[in-house]
């Protein structure tokens, strides 16, 4: 999308605000892609059923989420640990109390979990793997395959953290982390370039009751009788309209102005060359100082609020005040 301004001052101000727009756009697109990729992978993990294949999968812990159907109530062998039967197979699972409540009410339930190595718990003098192996042996599972029997006893299905945000933060955090970092960088560059609203107003000028096209604004700025009040103001006084540039393109007709006032804002900035070592934090940091900036605000006859300019060097805007009183009459400029 092009701004198409040909006037020297308008083009200069637009270029200053939009110089980083291609980089910011690329950062935002890349950031959204990375975040979307992490979210998609998380969604795929949670909502695509992956079935355990006991002769190949069991015995190898991984980060995949597997799904099991409860067909009968499992046997509890230790606190939070259950042996779940699935046809001719059996597997140790952990933290399925909510699913068990559903099973007791409806007679069926689905459990999801991640394969983990069985932990040893010496502090409670209980070896869960041994309990699982004893259960498998006593109930005749895998009697002809000692290796598979040992592998099944060594693995359990952890159903504790299978929520969306748990899975996103644990299994797919890289895309999300880089995406958020790039969004923060894009936000910083956008702020240094004048802000997102300023950029948007260069493409879609903020106007009063009458919507002025970019071509008309450019034409008025190039009019022989138009006056540029200076880079601090960033304002054109033209025969028909006032044009503000440094807070995005703003255009308003003189007859549409109900009141004009200056709002004083206090901001902070780092003091150049003031970076010092802070013994309390152990870091080097800047000292800051406050300063005042002046925002010129126009209220139209339909009570629409337009920001004409903002700068720390314009003070009470004597040049603009004189223009407003000449073009719109006394009483329009309000002291606030």
Greater pLDDT, 322 or 275: 322
- Answer whether 0.85 is exceeded by the pTM: no
What is the arithmetic mean of pLDDT over 157-174? 80
280 vs 209: which has the higher pLDDT: 209
Which pLDDT score, from 0 to 100, does residue 272 have?
73
Q: How far is CA 319 from CA 178, 185, 236, 245, 285, in A?
A: 48, 38, 12, 16, 40
Q: Kindly state the tokens that stand for 289.
A: 């100082």
Q: How many CA atoms lie within 13 A of 220 on its CB side?
A: 20
What mean pLDDT comes out for the span 3-14?
81
Quickly tell me which residue has 């240094």 as its tokens. Answer: 192
Q: Which of 34-43, 76-85, 278-287, 293-302 has the lowest mean pLDDT?
A: 278-287
321 Cβ contact list (under 8 Å, min separation 6) = 260, 333
In sequence order, the 6+-apart residues with CB closer than 8 A to the CB of 166 are none
Mean pLDDT is lowest, of 22-36, 170-184, 194-208, 278-292, for 278-292
Q: Where are the domains of the chain?
A: 47-170, 194-334
Position 287 scores a pLDDT of 74
**Mean pLDDT (the chain, rounded):** 83
Structure confidence at residue 217 (pLDDT):
92
pLDDT in tens, 285-305: 667 778 888 888 999 999 999
Percent of the chain as helix, strand, coil, to the nearest 5: 40, 30, 30
| Between 239 and 201, residue with greater pLDDT | 239
Instruction: Return the HEC string of 206-260.
Output: EECCCCCCHHHHHHHHCCCCCEECCCCCCEEECCCEEEECECECEEEEHHHEEEE
Pick the most confident of 28-32, 190-194, 259-263, 307-311: 28-32
* Mean pLDDT in residue range 201-209: 85
More confident of the two residues 215 and 20: 215
Cα 85–Cα 86–Cα 92 angle in degrees, nearest 5: 50
Q: Residue 56 pLDDT > 60, yes or no? A: no
Which of 4, 9, 1 shows the shortest CA–CA distance to 221? Answer: 9
Tell me the backbone φ, ψ of residue 104, rounded to 5 degrees.
Answer: -65, -30
The DSSP annotation for 53-116 comes to -TTTTTT---S-EEEEEE-SPPEEEETTEEEEEETTEEEEEE--HHHHHHHHHHS-EEEEEEEE
Minimum mean pLDDT among 78-92, 151-165, 264-278, 299-313: which range?
264-278
pLDDT given for residue 15 in this prediction: 80
| 32 has a pLDDT exceeding 90 | yes
Residue 293 and residue 265 in contact, taking contact as beta carbons nearer than 8 Å: yes
Q: 274: pLDDT confidence band, cut at 50, 70 and 90?
A: low
pLDDT score for 124: 54
pLDDT (0 to 100) of residue 239 = 92
Confidence of residue 82 (pLDDT cuts 50, 70, 90): very high
CB hemisphere CA count around 272 (13 angstroms): 0
Q: Output the pLDDT for position 281.
A: 67
**pLDDT given at position 121:** 64
Residue pLDDT, tens place only, 126-140 = 688 888 888 988 888
> Is the confidence at residue 125, as pLDDT, over 70?
no
Nearest by Cα to 148 from 23, 43, 58, 88: 58
What is the per-residue pLDDT across 238-252, written as a single tens digit (0 to 9) for each?
Answer: 999 999 988 888 999
Asked if residue 182 has pLDDT above 80, the reply is yes
SS3 155: strand
User: What is the pLDDT averaged over residues 311-333?
Assistant: 83
- Say whether pLDDT at 312 is over 60: yes
Q: What is the mean pLDDT of residues 306-329?
A: 84
Cβ proximity of 250 and 308 under 8 Å: yes
Mean pLDDT (whole number) for 46-59: 66
Q: Name the band, by pLDDT with cuts 50, 70 and 90, for residue 222.
A: very high
């Amino acid at each position: 999308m092009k701004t198409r301004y040909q006037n020297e001052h308008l083009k200069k101000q637009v270029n200053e605000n939009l110089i980083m727009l291609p980089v910011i756009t690329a950062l935002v697109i890349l950031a959204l892609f990375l975040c979307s990729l992490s979210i998609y992978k998380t969604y795929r993990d949670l909502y695509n059923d992956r079935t355990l294949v006991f002769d190949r999968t069991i015995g190898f812990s991984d980060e995949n989420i597997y799904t099991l159907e409860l067909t009968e109530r499992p046997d509890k062998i230790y606190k939070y640990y259950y042996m779940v039967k699935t046809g001719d197979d059996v597997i140790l699972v952990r933290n399925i109390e909510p699913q068990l409540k559903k099973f007791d009410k409806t007679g069926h339930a689905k459990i999801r979990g991640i394969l983990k190595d069985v932990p040893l718990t010496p502090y409670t003098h209980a070896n869960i793997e041994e309990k699982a192996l004893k259960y498998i042996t006593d109930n005749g599972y895998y009697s002809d395959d000692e290796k598979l029997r040992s592998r099944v006893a060594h693995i359990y299905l952890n159903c504790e953290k299978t929520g969306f945000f748990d899975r996103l933060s644990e299994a797919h955090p890289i895309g999300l982390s880089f995406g958020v970092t790039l969004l923060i960088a894009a936000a910083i560059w956008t702020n240094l370039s004048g802000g997102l609203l300023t950029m948007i107003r260069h493409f879609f000028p903020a106007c009063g009751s009458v919507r002025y096209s970019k071509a008309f604004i450019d034409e008025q700025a190039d009019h022989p009788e138009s006056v540029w009040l200076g880079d601090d103001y960033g304002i054109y006084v033209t025969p028909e309209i006032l044009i503000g540039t440094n807070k995005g393109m703003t255009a308003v007709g003189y007859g549409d102005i109900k009141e004009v006032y200056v709002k004083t804002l206090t901001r902070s900035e780092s003091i150049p060359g003031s970076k010092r070592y802070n013994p309390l934090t152990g870091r080097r940091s800047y000292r800051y100082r406050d300063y005042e900036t002046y925002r010129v605000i126009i209220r139209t006859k339909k009570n629409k609020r337009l920001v004409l300019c903002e700068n720390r060097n314009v003070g009470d805007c004597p040049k603009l005040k004189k223009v407003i009183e000449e073009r719109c009459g006394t009483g329009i400029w309000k002291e606030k």
